Homo-oligomer: A and B are copies of this chain.
Amino acid sequence: MMARKTGSHSDITGPRIQSAALELFARHGYAAVSMRQIAAEVGVQAGALYNYVPHKQALLFELMRGHMEALLTASENLGGGTPGQALDEFVRFHIAYHLERVDLVFLSYMELRALEPENFTQIEALRRSYEDKLEAILRAGQGGAFVVEDTKLTTMALIAMLTGVTNWFRAEGRLSPDAVAENYVAMARRLVGARA
C-alpha cells in the first residue's frame, strides 16, 4: 500500500525550499525573487514548489510566522528575578538569539509590507506580544529599580537598539557576540537608570 518511505524526497525538498526562499528573500527582497529562482536554488523546476507551498505569499508568511513563534517560545521563561536581572537576561537573550538568525530577523522586519493585510495583522500581533515581555520588565522596575519616564517609549527604544545589532554585526569583526551583548547590557542598564 504505502509507497516510498526511505529515500522519499518530500521531507528533503520541503525544508530546502524554505531555506532557499529565506536566503533569497533576505538578500534580494520578496518582490525581487521569483519562484523560478527559488526552484533553481533547490535544483528543481518551478512547478514542483507547488507540491509544498500553496503560493508565494504563503512561503513568506510561514517563514515569518515560524520565526515569531519560535521567538515567543524561546523567550517564554524570561523575566525572572529582580527587574535588573530580568533586563540583563532579556538583553543577552535578544542579542544572542537574533545574531544566530540574522536572515530571519532581517526578513521579518523588512518584508512586513509584502504581507497581505490579514497576514500582516497576525505577525504584528506576535511581535507585539514579544515586545510586551520587555515592557513588563520595565514596568516592574518603574519607580523602583529603574528610572523610566514612559515604558512604551523605552520599550521601543530598547528593541530598536538591540535589534539594530543584526544590521552591522559581522562575525569576522572586532567583537564577539558575547562581548557585544555585555556592552549592550551595560548600555541598557544605564538607559533605564538601573541602580549599580
Contacts and interface: CB of A to CB of B under 8 A. Distances in A.
B180 A153 contact: yes
Task: State how many copies of this chain the complex holds.
Answer: 2
18 contacts: A27-B113, A28-B113, A29-B29, A30-B32, A150-B183, A153-B180, A153-B187, A154-B187, A157-B187, A160-B160, A160-B161, A160-B163, A160-B164, A160-B167, A161-B161, A190-B190, A190-B193, A191-B191
B153 A161 contact: no
Interface in A108-139: 110, 113-114
Given A29-B113, A29-B114, A149 B184 contact: no
A178 to B, nearest CB: 13
A175 interface: yes
B149 A186 contact: yes
Interface residues of A, number: 35
A145 interface: no
A184 B28 CA distance: 33
A12 interface: no
Contacts of A175: 150, 153
A168 interface: yes
Interface hub of A113, A157, A175 (most chain B Cβ within 10 A): A157
Contact of A32 (B114, B160, B186, B192): B114
A64 to B, nearest CB: 15
Contacts of A156: 164-165, 168
A28 B30 CA distance: 11
A3 interface: no
A153 B184 CA distance: 8
